[in-house]
A = this chain, B = another copy of it.
Amino acid sequence: MREQVIEWLRARGVELEDIARVVQELLGGRFSDLTLEECLASVRRVVDKREAQFAILTGIALDVLAEQGHLPEPLRSAVREDSPLYGIDEVLALAITNLYGSVGLTSFGYLDKRKLGIIGQLNRHADGGVHTFLDDLVAGVAAAAAARIAHRRQTLADAAAGSEGEGKAAS
């Protein structure tokens, strides 16, 4: 299913590299040695998770159906207009972020407000499409990938600290 998710994202104007750039911008101040490759690898791992895949597919399907006029009212207007009180787009996005714990929620909220990179492009609807779900889903994936990197770097730092203190037996 991973390949289908990547294709659906691409068909809506989002490459995994775009999401990786958001992750790098988000974490750049904290980890100065963070490469785009590490960010992209982390984005790929998030997109490998089945729950993330289903959230992405469901959200994109709703965007497309709203665009094509196949959603009944009053749902269609709520999705087309990205009503700030609709809320279901955030609910799906957070289902992704939560997979890496609560530490990603702050990043999600920040991204949703500041709309870095591709998120801002989607939000401006420059292509005339409905991206009510997609911009939040991308923020959710980026926040999850950033949380994953923060957790992994801490684990590596803990292991390094442990091996200094405990000698080779710990490695």
- A interface secondary structure, majority: helix
Identify which of B74, B94, B106 contacts A102 (C-beta below 8 A): B94
Identify which of B50, B54, B88, B109 contacts A105 (C-beta below 8 A): B109
Closest to A76 in B: B61
B75 touches A102 (CB 8 A): no
Measured between beta carbons, the chain B residues less than 8 angstroms from A4 are 74
Contacting residues of chain A (87-108) with chain B, CB-CB under 8 angstroms: 87-88, 90-92, 94-95, 98-103, 105-108
A151 within 8 A of B: yes
B90 touches A103 (CB 8 A): yes
- Number of A residues with CB within 8 Å of any CB on chain B: 49
Measured between beta carbons, the chain B residues less than 8 angstroms from A41 are none
- Shortest distance between the CB of A36 and any CB in chain B (Å): 22
A112 touches B102 (CB 8 A): no
Enumerate chain A interface residues (CB-CB to B < 8 A): 1, 4, 49-51, 54-55, 57-58, 61-62, 65, 70-72, 74-75, 78, 84-88, 90-92, 94-95, 98-103, 105-114, 150-151, 154-155, 158
